[in-house]
Amino acid sequence: MNATIKDYLMLHLIVLIWGFTAILGLLISLPAIELVFYRTLIAAIGVAGLFLLKKKNLLMPFPDMIKVTGVGFVIAMHWILFFWSAQVSTASVCLAGMATTSLWTAFVEPLFNRTKIKWYEVGLGLMVISGLLVIFSFESGYWLGLSMALASSFLAAVFSVLNSKLAHKHHPYQITFYEMAGACLFTLLFMPIYSNFMTDEGLKLTWVGYDWFWLFILGGICTVYAFSVSVELMKRLSVFSINLTVNLEPVYGIILAVLIFGESEKMTPQFYLGTGIILVSVLTYPVLNYINKRRKPVRPLG
């Protein structure tokens, strides 16, 4: 792998962009359902456009198409809860909950792959729970937003594990197109239920002010561009270095939220203590995982 300093700086830029998504959820006036609909629609069109420019085949076998589209349904639920969490609480609360994604993955992946749960994953999981208890104890007014973020992070772990299986069979851009199309379809199917039973205001699909600008940043830069660059970086950077850097997304996001929104995003010291406990456990996980893999004995050939 011929990684350069430029590659590592680009990786941090991508993680910074992903950390900005919760802030965009507050800058855009649309509710979560409508926001996810436009994001996935723009992203699906963007990826299809990339395929046309590169003259690549977008089609895949129909059974696989159904599977990938189904994963898109999970992604839609993840994003709806993600933006809803930020809107009913704050971007910082949302990102604190989302910081648990990699640890959810540590428990979800063994269930899907039928492997043993590692001792240090249990310990780090308990550490995350202690951090959440600290936050809940002093920020009880944000329990709904934090609960939504935790559910969103769990769904993020589920689709990450599912994607890891699909990535071995299909081109990443094909997967992204059908997942974005599936997520867009899910929001369309969910809209009648949402408008009739979950809100008194009905659907809000009209853009106001700079919504169009923020939506195209969300769908174009934060989704299509960030994904395409991350795939390119995977050719030169190790999985370990990428996972370790992606764990900094909540840190970047919380810092950006405080800088952009000021007082409305400032929380109690106990909130930052709880978030700090979560982030320490999240950053510790890939290190312990790396050490554990190096300790495994190498089987002799023959």
- Contact in structure between 271 and 141 (CB atoms under 8 Å): no
Instruction: State the residue for tokens 């700086």.
Output: 9
- Contact in structure between 73 and 182 (CB atoms under 8 Å): yes
pTM for this entry: 0.84
Predicted pLDDT at 301: 38
Predicted pLDDT at 98: 86
3-state SS of 83-112? HHHHHHCCHHHHHHHHCCHHHHHHHHHHHH
Predicted pLDDT at 294: 73
Question: Which of 212-242 are b and which e, b meaning 16 or more Cβ less than 10 Å from the residue's Cβ?
Answer: eebbebbbbebbbebbbebeebeeebeeebb
Predicted pLDDT at 288: 79
Angle at 162 between CA 157 and CA 164, to 5 degrees: 95
* Average pLDDT, consecutive stretches of 10 residues, N- to C-terminus, the chain (302 residues): 75 90 93 95 92 82 92 95 93 86 79 77 79 76 90 90 78 86 96 90 91 94 84 68 72 86 79 84 75 61 38
3-state SS of 235-272? CCCCHHHHHHHHCCHHHHHHHHHHHHHHHHHCCCHHHH
- Contact in structure between 214 and 24 (CB atoms under 8 Å): yes
Q: Where are the domains of the chain?
A: 5-202+211-294
Q: What's the CA gap between 69 and 65, in Å, rounded?
A: 6
In one-letter notation, the amino acid at residue 143 is: W
Predicted pLDDT at 2: 58
